[in-house]
Structure 1
């Protein structure tokens, strides 16, 4: 799960998903690895959610950020050919707001989808992937009614229209795992040595361990169109969705 720091970088994205601009200092800059800041709102990717894109502004220069690389540090990957700010440089970071907001709407919409399918059909998630305003989600679901796709879409959009609050908190591992069905994937991907678990709660519908960014309420997602259902065999159902 996501932590408050990766290496030397304090992650602003976990504390406040609405942050789009912030001040920071460069603590490392390597042409092979990338740029490390002391503070960053760039979501590094994970859990199916892609990393953010944006820019760093410094000394009248603009460095475009095409993505991230994680390891011992959270490295920001500049667009090829863009300059690297020297270590110690004060920079202004800014996310691509349209992309981040679309990914937040998509991620929250997928949580509503998984909550509805778990509530109504008892199915766990076996995989998934998202891009801005489009996604797929795979479920372990042996039998479905003929109108499954339409029934899921109707139930999901009813939950979105209900304007349920989406709350985020970090709990000690033991307390988090005391919450029923906190893991909605068929395989528990949380590291065994993880001491704190970040919880995303769609109040009254769905509570999951999750490290991504989300909107503040289900109404902010918009509407979900279930574009297609695919039968991949042996209880493997794939739903392709679009956020509108």
Structure 2
């Protein structure tokens, strides 16, 4: 298994690594450690470069398959045991970090003030959508939510990452905010993201260190997806 650097070092832009396996069918490599996020929980994967002493490879996609992280390239595969430098596309990554934290701010506000659970979500750089168990949602409530999430940006709350034993993690009330618990039974350690004083959730993605980094959040649209399922669309200022 690769060491998952992104779990604790979300701001790492470059890292030393070694190719420990190549997969010709997938045209992908597995590294001994990686800072590339493989996607999940609605957050897209990272992209970037992999540099060896003789070549530079474009990482066009990263995906977790079983216990391995596959880094897909558009070129002839390098050799096993070759030393490399991984380089994250930082503009793409940082926009996703800001967006993901914005989604957690939104989720934290909606849970704290309205006790509405999340039923789904997705994001791309600087925009995303999240579904909640709201029975009624109107323009006045949307405006109220938007004002509250931006207040939390202004509050510049610190964001902490922790990895807890499963038994310890599940003693935390309301750790799982999704309607369905998406954590497989076999996972023994749970990664948590805490926005101090606002939100604490199990989460595997990358985030900024402080809500102030997110920037202004706009709720640009909302839709009814069912009797008690409402969708909010957000965008961030670049």
Shorter chain as normaliser: what TM range? over 0.9
Determine if the alignment matches structure 1 residue 232 to structure 2 residue 203: no
Q: 1:216 aligns with which of 209, 213, 221?
A: 209
1:166 match: 159
* 1:82-135 deviation digits (Å, cap 9, x = unpaired): 232111111111000000000000000000000001111110000000001110
TM-score, length-scaled by structure 1: 0.93
1:74 match: 69
1:195 match: 188
Q: 2:32 aligns with which of 16, 38, 63?
A: 38
Determine if the alignment matches structure 1 residue 61 to structure 2 residue 70: no
* Paired positions, count: 235
User: Residue 159 of structure 1: SS of its match in structure 2?
Assistant: helix
RMSD after superposition = 1.1
Q: What residue ranges of structure 2 are gaps of 5+ in the alignment?
A: none
Q: 1:133 aligns with which of 92, 113, 126?
A: 126
Q: Distance in 2 between matches of 1:78 and 1:88?
A: 17
User: Residue 109 of structure 1: SS of its match in structure 2?
Assistant: helix
1:4 match: none
TM-score, length-scaled by structure 2: 0.96
Q: Distance in 2 between matches of 1:13 and 1:233?
A: 36
1:3 match: none
1:144 positional shift: 2.9
